Structure 1
Amino acid sequence: MQIADAGRQVGAGMLDTNQSAVIERPYPRLPYAYFSVGLLMLAYVFAFVDRMALSLVVDPIRSDLGLNDTQVSALAGLAFVVCYVLFSFPFGRWVDHHARPPALTLGVSIWSVAMVACGLATNFWQLFVGRMFVGVGEAAVNPVAYSTIPDTFPPHRRGLAMAIFASGSMIGGGLGVYLGSLLLEWAARTQPVLPLVGQLAPWQILFIGLGLPGLLVALLVHFTLRDPPRRAALAAPATSRDVAAYFGEHRRLFTLMFLGFAGFAISNYAFTVWGPTYFMRVHHFSIAEVGILMGGGFAIFGSGGAIAGGLWADRVQKAGHREAPIRVALHIAWIQFPFFLGAYLCPQPMLAVALFCGGMFCASMIGGVQGAMVQVLTPNRMRGQAGAIYLTVVNVLGLGLAPIATAAMTDYVFGGPAEIGKSLAATSAVALALASLLIVLGMKQAKQRAEAVLDA
């Protein structure tokens, strides 16, 4: 990246109004552009394969380690999200200042090794530390993608590109549940003995078996992913002070938008963490049946929803609405609500499955627009750090709050494990209502900011 010797733009207002800061450079050729976003998606797939593993083995871990639902939720949420949030900032600064592929290579390597360590854990605190390092590694993925994709695709193609990347979470979630259920059944049936460590519980085999392949992804990223030229070629990378000044100037907008989008994360993480357990406890599905439901649901309805959301946002963008991702997100909140409410409260298993799949499709649309939302509101040279701030908010409130809040309502409000459906319904209802309200309050200001931001 070329940096002007004449000095650095510091003022928050100059960050998005100085037209000389942008050089028209050709974007990478479309075949390689789609290969690169496919590689980013693959990394995201493995991130969610590993992230979903815990939801399959809630009850076995509770039994083997003597835990309650609140402690399991701490493993799923708190242990992961603390490090995910803390390390998203150094990774965000890295991708704004330096080459981006090495950050992703390091991140994938860390979380893959940490998954293996989770499989070797024999008590709560060892598993807690392992989950923390999974969070450290996965903190790299979104900042790299949020910074790389705008430099790889022109504005009218970014919605679809972000949707392809985001679909990795749905595909990964589906594969994690489906392959995980197969691996659990195999481990329970064969009781394999591993070299050096001996015989392990099936849930430990699950973590090891899902973690090791990630090291191959790290090698693929290292050898094939190229760093695209930065679009804002004359602009120096944004310092932390620049980012703080920009967010301070537009603090009302970002507070409303980031908290609003966190509402989607709360609802989505509630069903991601507790959805499999809900169908096993309430509708008496087996692990294999849950694997088919969640695996097929995420892979088909989840990825389809993400792509549909991105295409929808691109269509609205072409119609002249620069704030398209935010406008589309508001409608996504409205259409997913009745599906999830019905799924969680329906006493008929097959109807609950149908409603759940419909809700999953609608909810997954947000994956195709959330990254684009950050991009339309922030200048190119600070999108890595802006993405880190966004991820901090949505993951602290989403992954940090949703699993524990849902479990706490199950344990202390609704009367015990069999009432998990009521807890999920309450979590989604409150989260989506708040998301809608906050986005409506910030829509006018979002439109003005999106039209002001440089986006070459």
Structure 2
Amino acid sequence: MSTQASAKPDPNRNTVLVMLLVVYIFNFVDRQILSILAAPIQEDLQLDDGEMGLLGGFAFALLYSTVAVPLAALADRTSRSWVIAISLAAWSGFTALCGLAQNFWHIFLARLGVGIGEAGGVAPSYALIGDYFPSEQRARALSFYSLGIPLGSGLGVMLGGYIASTVDWRVAFFTVGLLGVAIVPIFKLLVRDKQKPKVSADNPSTVAPMPALKETAGVLARKKSFWFLSFGAAMSSMLGYGIAFWLPSLLIRSFGFDLVQASQFFGAILLLGGVVGVLAGGVLADRLGGRDRAFYAWVPGVAFFLGAPLFAAGITSAEWQIAFVLFLLPQALAYIWLGPVLSAIQHLVVPAARSTASALFLLINNLIGLGGGIYALGAVSDFLTPTYGDEALRYSMLYSLVLYGGAALLMALAGPALRKDWVAE
């Protein structure tokens, strides 16, 4: 039995996990609110689908993905909780500034700021969870943290749609941004870093040396499982982020919904399907992964394989009632990968390098998935508009489902590699 597994659990770990979840909810409220506000923003600022895709994807992902690596290295060497707190204040402030935009470039620059701020939030949070929870509980803990994605996305969609329909889309940005700033001092009061690990019992006063960024990158580069997991997750994220951003617009254009109806429909799918999928992924990974490490990749691979045809059925459905059920099932499957893959990434390096390893994974996942997916679906929709008119977005989503096939294949390959690359604690 590992030392960590046998050690008495930290009494504050659940408080830390809940506060990290709250911050992650704000992360995705700020991120996802743009999707439900796309229609009024496009009308007010005269933006096409390609420009909107840049705002939702590339403008955010460019600095979010790249700045995350040095910020994660800084968190590993200084204080993970302080980096998260400062990042929360930064991205919330820039979210509020989005409400002041008067043209494309104003909101583009504000979204860049949101991306810079959120760059310092996720990877250090993964590492803190790795510090507080033992290996055999880590996938479930990371899954609980990852509930911030469906909860934040669902709340962002519902809150944004309500505020935009009753007041103005700008007020929606002001509201969520200022709320995020308000919780910064509460977070810092309740969340503390774990003590740095000791080198050995013979030298208890010396903390373990922190691997350099170059050293951690070199370790990961030599592990096939890292590449399979990263690019498999990136391919799934291209589709996941793309559908999450553009589905409200599809509901308005192809199903005749108004803004509030679209926000309620999509928010319910995110909350119901997302929560079930995230939790199921963590439980399955911890149970099956204890028998064979390969299941940390195989569980997501099966989910992607099953999710593609279900998404296709929902996209091509003509009745919104049927579409709701058909979207609900693949939405759950789309979130299953989070706990297993994030836990596996934590086990590819020594504990001191967890933030950096997570950031390098997120660099690939978000630069390709978030940066490319939203823009690609919007650009393909523009390209198909002369042929399909208002239905172009529906066909853009449909053609993009091939990405799940590629993701499933890469996860299948990652399984055997994980058996060799896993770092025990």
2:372 to 401, 406, 410: 401
Structure 1 residues 229 and 70: alpha-carbon distance in aligned structure 2, compared to 1, 3 A threshold: same
Q: Is the 8 A contact 1:74 1:404 kept in 2?
A: yes
1:284 to 224, 248, 256: 256
Q: Are 1:141 and 2:121 counterparts? A: yes
Q: TM-score, normalised by structure 2?
A: 0.93
- 2:234 maps to a residue whose letter is A
2-structure distance, mates of 1:248, 1:263: 19
Match of 2:220? 247
For the residue of structure 2 that corresponds to 1:343, the secondary structure is helix
Q: Is the 8 A contact 1:343 1:351 kept in 2?
A: yes
Q: Is the 8 A contact 1:27 1:152 kept in 2?
A: no
What's the CA shift string for 1:10-35, capped at 9, x where partnerless? xxxxxxxxxxxx97597574652122
2:359 to 388, 394, 408: 388
1-structure distance, mates of 2:174, 2:187: 21
1-structure distance, mates of 2:267, 2:159: 8
Q: Are 1:177 and 2:157 counterparts? A: yes
Q: Report percent identity of matched pairs.
A: 27
2-structure distance, mates of 1:254, 1:156: 20
| 1:123-142 paired onto structure 2 within 5 Å | 123-142=103-122
2:177 to 211, 215, 227: 211
Q: Are 1:268 and 2:240 counterparts? A: yes
Match of 2:278? 306
| 1:286-435 paired onto structure 2 within 5 Å | 286-318=258-290, 320-413=291-384, 415=387, 416-427=389-400, 429-435=401-407
Of residues 165-174 and 321-330 in structure 1, the stretch that sits farther from structure 2 once superposed is 321-330
Match of 2:46? 66
Match of 1:17? none
2-structure distance, mates of 1:305, 1:124: 36
For the residue of structure 1 that corresponds to 2:183, the secondary structure is helix
For the residue of structure 1 that corresponds to 2:101, the secondary structure is coil
Match of 1:445? 417
Match of 1:100? 80
Match of 1:118? 98
- Per the TM alignment, residue 104 of structure 1 is displaced from its structure 2 partner at its CA by 0.7
2-structure distance, mates of 1:30, 1:317: 24
- Per the TM alignment, residue 440 of structure 1 is displaced from its structure 2 partner at its CA by 2.1
Query: How many residues were matched structurally?
Result: 415
- 1:431 maps to a residue whose letter is L
- Per the TM alignment, residue 444 of structure 1 is displaced from its structure 2 partner at its CA by 1.6
Structure 1 residues 333 and 164: alpha-carbon distance in aligned structure 2, compared to 1, 3 A threshold: same
Q: Is the 8 A contact 1:274 1:403 kept in 2?
A: yes
Structure 1 portions without partners, runs of 5+: 1-21, 188-201
- Per the TM alignment, residue 323 of structure 1 is displaced from its structure 2 partner at its CA by 3.5
- 2:85 maps to a residue whose letter is T
- Per the TM alignment, residue 383 of structure 1 is displaced from its structure 2 partner at its CA by 1.4
- 2:288 maps to a residue whose letter is V
- 1:218 maps to a residue whose letter is V
Q: Is the 8 A contact 1:232 1:381 kept in 2?
A: no
Structure 1 residues 323 and 440: alpha-carbon distance in aligned structure 2, compared to 1, 3 A threshold: closer
Match of 1:198? none
Q: Are 1:227 and 2:197 counterparts? A: no
1-structure distance, mates of 2:51, 2:8: 47
Structure 2 portions without partners, runs of 5+: 201-207
2-structure distance, mates of 1:417, 1:156: 49
Q: Is the 8 A contact 2:159 2:172 kept in 1?
A: no
For the residue of structure 2 that corresponds to 1:401, the secondary structure is helix
For the residue of structure 2 that corresponds to 1:377, the secondary structure is coil
- 2:178 maps to a residue whose letter is L
The Cα RMSD (Å) is 1.8
Structure 1 residues 25 and 237: alpha-carbon distance in aligned structure 2, compared to 1, 3 A threshold: farther
What's the CA shift string for 1:63-88, capped at 9, x where partnerless? 22121110111111111001101210
| 1:36-115 paired onto structure 2 within 5 Å | 36-115=16-95
Q: Is the 8 A contact 1:151 1:230 kept in 2?
A: no
Q: Is the 8 A contact 1:27 1:153 kept in 2?
A: no
Match of 1:238? 211
1-structure distance, mates of 2:350, 2:412: 23
Q: TM-score, normalised by structure 1?
A: 0.87
2-structure distance, mates of 1:325, 1:334: 15
What's the CA shift string for 1:299-357, capped at 9, x where partnerless? 22211210111111111123x22343212111111221222111111122211111111
Q: Is the 8 A contact 2:226 2:345 kept in 1?
A: no
1-structure distance, mates of 2:217, 2:133: 27
